Amino acid sequence: MRAAVSIGITCTTGAEVVRALAPRIERLGFSALWINDIPGGDSLDGLRIAASATERLGLATGVIPLDRRPVDSLDLHGLPAARTTLGIGSGRAPRPLALVREGIATLRAVTDAAVVVGALGPRMRRLAAERADGVLLNWLTPQAARDAAAELHAAGARAAGDGSTHVARPPRAVLYVRTIAEIDARPALQREVERYESVPSYAANFERLGMRPADATLHAAAGLAAFDVVDEVVLRAITPTNSLAELERFVEETARWRSGAA
C-alpha cells in the first residue's frame, strides 16, 4: 500500500504564513494540509485561508475536541466540502463515545465533508469504522500504526458485512507523525515529546504499547518508508520557531523525501 503524504501545521500559525505556504504545499504535490485545533487558534479559520489560496489541496482539521468546541459552534462557512475533512475527537469528555457519535451525526446533517475521528483505543476506532470516514492516529510507531490500520480496516469490513456501517466507502487510516527536517528543530521536537509524555491518556497509551514517543517521530528521509503502512501519513511540521521560511524549507525538504520514496 502506498500512503498519501500530507503536511500538518499548528492552528496558531499566522494567517499570512498559511496564505503563502498552502499554494506551495499544493504545488509540491502533497495530498492535504492538516491544521490542528488547540487553544489560541482556530483550525477552521486556517483552512478557510488555505482554501482561498489553493484549488485542489485537501483541507483537514486534526482534531477538534468536541468537549471544548461543540459541533453546533463550528463555523464551516467557506470550506469546500469536496476538499474538506473534519477531524473530531472527544477531548476529555466524561462520555467520549456518546459525544463523538452524536458529533458525527450532527456533522452529517449539515455538511458533505468527510469526517474522521481521533482515536487512541479500540472502542473509538470501532465507532469510527461504523460511522465515520476514517481514523486519525497519533503518536504510533510504524508497527503500532500497521496494527491499528489493520484493525480499522477489519472493523470496517465487518460493519459492511453485517450492515452496521453508515458510510459507503471503507474507513481510512490517517497517521500524524511529528517530523523535523533540520537539526536545529531537535529541541522543539524534544519539547513536543515531553509535552505528550505528560498527558495522562497518552502516557497510558505509550505504556500499554511498550513504546517511547520519540520512536514515533521522523527526522530523516530514510524513515518515511517505514510509515507507509496506513492510507495517509501527515508530516506534522516541527521547526525551531514556526516561521514561514522554516516551514517553506520543511515542505521543500520533505517533498524530496516523498519523491525518493515514490
For the stretch 190-216, pLDDT in tens is 999 999 999 998 999 999 999 999 999
For the cut 50, the answer to whether the pLDDT of residue 262 exceeds it is: no
Q: Is residue 26 within 8 Å of 255, Cβ to Cβ? A: no
Contacts of residue 21, defined as CB under 8 A and 6 or more positions apart, other chains included, come to 9, 13, 33, 244, 247, 248, 251
At CA 167, angle to CA 44 and CA 235, rounded to 5? 45
Rounded percentage of the chain residues whose pLDDT exceeds 90: 88
Name the average pLDDT for the chain.
94
SS3 245: helix
CATH of domain 4-261: 3.20.20.30
Average pLDDT over residues 73-86: 97
Spatial distance between the Cα atoms of 257 and 222, rounded to a whole number of angstroms:
8
For the stretch 15-52, pLDDT in tens is 999 999 999 999 999 999 999 999 999 999 999 999 99
**Cis status, amide bond into 63, omega within 30 of 0:** yes
pTM equals 0.95
For the stretch 148-169, pLDDT in tens is 999 999 888 888 877 776 666 7
Spatial distance between the Cα atoms of 251 and 190, rounded to a whole number of angstroms:
20
